[in-house]
Amino acid sequence: MKASNYSALLKSRYLYYEYRKSTNKINKTFKEFKGLIGTATIID
């Protein structure tokens, strides 16, 4: 029982880190995108 709980915990922790990595990547892309929009409006 404890072994399966431990593997489930490891899996959820791994999924959480993967989720964090992907959201960080999305946030970074979104910031760059907003920066591009900002420079475009300044040029206009």
Q: Please write the tens of the pLDDT for every residue from 1-43.
A: 577 888 998 999 999 999 999 999 999 999 998 888 887 776 6
- What are the phi and psi torsion angles at 8 (to 5°)? -65, -40
Residue 38 to residues 18, 22, 35, Cα–Cα distance (Å): 30, 24, 5
Residue range 29-38, pLDDT digits in tens: 999 988 888 8
- Terminal alpha carbon distance of the chain: 64
